[in-house]
Amino acid sequence: MARSGVLYVHVANAAARLVAEGKNPTIDSIRAALGGTGSKSTLAPLLKRWKTAHPGTLAQAELGLPAELVLAVKGVYEKVQTEAALQVEQAEQLHQTATAALQEQLQQACVEHDALLTAQGQQAQVLAAATTRSQGLAETVQRQEVILASLGSEKLGLEQRLIDRAGEVASLTQQLQQTRGQFEHYQVSVAQQRADERQSAEQRHQRLEHELAELRQRLLIQQARLGELQAQEQRLTQDNDHLQDTLLITQDALTQSRSANEQVVYQLTELKQMHQALEQRHVNGEQRLAEMQTTLAVVERERSLLAERFTQAETQLTGLAEEKQLLLQEKAVLSSQLAEFRTEGGRP
């Protein structure tokens, strides 16, 4: 409860004097201005009442500035705050719009990136298929080389047999001449015997000549077969070279696709130039896809042709195996080679 000696008017006058002196009225300064009279519990509500009734004067006392200047500064501050808030809001809207556009461009880039990855996977499959076909052709060439080596061995054997037969013919001819010389003085007594021996020798000579002709004919047949196999080997070698060229083209296309993929990753960091780069890459991707489809069709056609040639080669090899059965001496060698060929062909 306030004392009877300290009234509101006393506190108001003291506060006004302090403000006039440029001081901030507080409980302690009011009490000092009143000569130490009044407690803080008495002065506090009276000072609060005065501050509520004089806000402008209080602001002047706290800042040391006129109240009109303080109010003008507050108005300017509020206006600046309002304009700043409006600018921030506009900037946020622009930022949201730009962010949405960039998000859309990023999604489009991701879609094209996935499409390029899919195309790259397809090209990798085509490359794997071409590699497999190339390996198969290489194995076929190796088998043809083994067969050619076998036929070369057969040719050498037939030539040796022909030489042996020629030696036998020469020996028999020499023996016939010797026999004629030895028994020439016995012409009268052994005319019939000589005629029989001559007939027998001529028959043997005819048989040997017939066998020699057969051997020569078989040698010609083997040489013709050898020429066919060599021509077939050349065709297979050409087909293999063509597939190797196709494989190199496919690898180049795969390298270009990987370069395009790296370019997409790089363009994701430069969103401002993404639109034009993505359109150009889209056109390039369609062209590369068309080229890869054309290449795939060519490779598929070549695979069909090679499969037909391989079937023909197998048919020819089967015919050779059946004809070679007539030669008993070469049958064991060809059977062992055929077993090795089948064993090597069954390996992974």
Q: What's 34's DSSP letter?
A: T
Considering the chain, what percentage of its residues have pLDDT values greater than 90? 6
Residue with tokens 């037909």: 308
Residue 2 confidence (pLDDT) above 50: no
Residue 82 confidence (pLDDT) above 70: yes
Determine the pLDDT at residue 37. Answer: 85
pTM to 2 decimals?
Answer: 0.27
Let me know: does 40 contact 31? Beta carbons within 8 Å: yes
In single-letter form, the type of residue at position 2 comes to A
Q: What's 271's DSSP letter?
A: G
**For the segment 18-72, what is each residue's pLDDT rounded down to a tens digit?**
888 888 889 999 999 998 888 889 999 999 999 888 876 665 555 555 555 655 6
Rounded Cα distance, 300 and 251, in Å:
17
Q: What are phi and psi of 42, to 5 degrees?
A: -85, -45
Determine the pLDDT at residue 1. Answer: 38
Residue 3 confidence (pLDDT) above 50: no
Domain boundary assignment for the chain: 8-64, 95-346
Task: Give, to the nearest 10 degrees, the angle between helix 274-324 and helix 67-182.
Answer: 20
Q: What share of the chain is helix, strand, coil (3-state, %, to 5)?
A: 90, 0, 10
81-94 average pLDDT score: 83
What is the C-alpha R_g of the chain? 57
**For the segment 185-198, what is each residue's pLDDT rounded down to a tens digit?**
767 776 787 778 88
109-119 average pLDDT score: 87
- Report residue 149's pLDDT band, with 50, 70 and 90 as the boundaries: confident
Let me know: does 33 contact 13? Beta carbons within 8 Å: no
310-339 average pLDDT score: 77
- Separation of CA 263 from chain center: 15
Residue 13 confidence (pLDDT) above 90: yes
88-92 average pLDDT score: 84
Residue 339 confidence (pLDDT) above 90: no
